[in-house]
Amino acid sequence: MLQKEPYLRTIDWIDGAIELVDQTLLPHRLEQRRVTELSELITDIQRLAVRGAPALGVAGAMGVALIAASVAAAGGDAELDRDEVVRQARLLREARPTAVNLSWGVDRALTRLAEGPAAILDEALAIRDEDIAACISMGLRGADLTRELTGKDPVRVMTICNTGGLATVERGTALGVIQTLLEQGSLAEALPLETRPLLQGARLTAWELQRMGAPFRLLIDSAGPFLLSRGIADAVFIGADRIAANGDSANKIGSFSLALAAKHAGVPFIVVAPESTIDMQTASGADIEIEDRGVDEVAGFGGTRTAPEGIDAVNPAFDVTPHELITAIVTERRVIRPGSGETLATVPLAALRS
> DSSP class of residue 201?
I
Please list the active-site residues. Answer: 241
Which residues of the chain register pLDDT less than 50? 1-3
Over residues 37-78, the pLDDT tens digits come to: 999 999 999 999 999 999 999 999 999 999 999 999 999 878
Q: Report helix, strand or coil for 276.
A: helix
Helix axes 82-93, 100-110, angle to 10 degrees: 170
Task: Evaluate whether 252 touches 159 at the Cβ level (below 8 Å).
Answer: no
Q: How far is CA 253 from CA 8, 79, 258, 279, 292, in A?
A: 26, 46, 10, 19, 11
pLDDT at 2 (0 to 100)? 46
pLDDT at 6 (0 to 100)? 56
pLDDT at 7 (0 to 100)? 67
Closest CA to 208 of 159, 269, 275: 159
Over residues 80-99, the pLDDT tens digits come to: 999 999 999 999 999 998 77
pLDDT at 302 (0 to 100)? 83
pLDDT at 78 (0 to 100)? 82
Cis peptide before 225 (omega within 30 of 0): no
Give ∠ CA 264-323-340 in degrees, rounded to 5: 80
